Structure 1
Amino acid sequence: MVRTALLAASLGAGLSLSGCATPDGDFYMGGPDNFGEANRMTMAAQVIDPDPVYDTPLPEGHAEHAGQAVERYREDKVKQPDRTRTSKSLTGSGSGSGGN
């Protein structure tokens, strides 16, 4: 009884470990050359292209308009945007328990 249980456990462990191997015999992680790959990819994603190429030209900016906006902000006279509604207001009631 103990022998069959030991045989079944070792067979299960062998099958589960073989699932980590690739067809060429290497394990899934690929060895020491794959260690830290996620960290390297994250660092590479944070690098800024020093000479970017855009499909469309950048829009022109007006320094005078930006300066006027800053002055209005400093004097607390900011232009209020137009009020727009994006959806209908739905009314309803809900109940829930607030107990912890």
Structure 2
Amino acid sequence: MNIDRRIMIAAAMAVLVGGCTPTDVTLGNSVRQTMAAQVVDPDPQYDEAGHPTDAAKSAAAVKRYRTDMVKQPDSIRTTDTETGSPK
């Protein structure tokens, strides 16, 4: 009798646990779509032939780089260090 009761409890638990499985077929689609949106196209097709460049400026930049005469960029302040109360 004790073994039959254990079998009945185990069968009831199996039915209850089986009801916990997700039945929504769209479960996880948002994650898959987000991952797909972040993948770079391995074979991009462009309408234009390419990005226009200025060969003289490019050559001068390479020459400055090779001779260690690179132009220093302007300093950019990203925060305001002013103190006091707002006006």
TM-score (norm 2): 0.50
Residue 13 of structure 1 and its aligned partner are, at CA, apart by 2.6
Sequence identity of aligned pairs in percent?
A: 32
CA spacing shift, 1:74–1:47, aligned 2, 3 Å: same
Equivalent AA in structure 1 for residue 57 of structure 2 = H
- 2:11 and 2:66 map into 1 onto residues whose CA distance is 75
Does residue 1:83 correspond to 2:75, yes or no? Answer: yes
User: Which stretches in structure 2 are left out of the alignment for 5+ residues?
Assistant: 26-31, 82-87
Residue 19 of structure 1 and its aligned partner are, at CA, apart by 3.2
Matches within 5 A, 1:1-100: 3=5, 7=9, 9-20=10-21, 22=23, 45=39, 47-53=41-47, 60-89=52-81
User: Which stretches in structure 1 are left out of the alignment for 5+ residues?
Assistant: 29-37, 90-100
RCO comparison, higher one (Cα < 8 Å, 6+): 2
Equivalent AA in structure 2 for residue 22 of structure 1 = T
- 1:81 and 1:21 map into 2 onto residues whose CA distance is 56
Residue 70 of structure 1 and its aligned partner are, at CA, apart by 1.0
TM-score (norm 1): 0.45
Residue 62 of structure 1 and its aligned partner are, at CA, apart by 0.9
Q: How many residue pairs are counted as aligned between the two chains?
A: 69
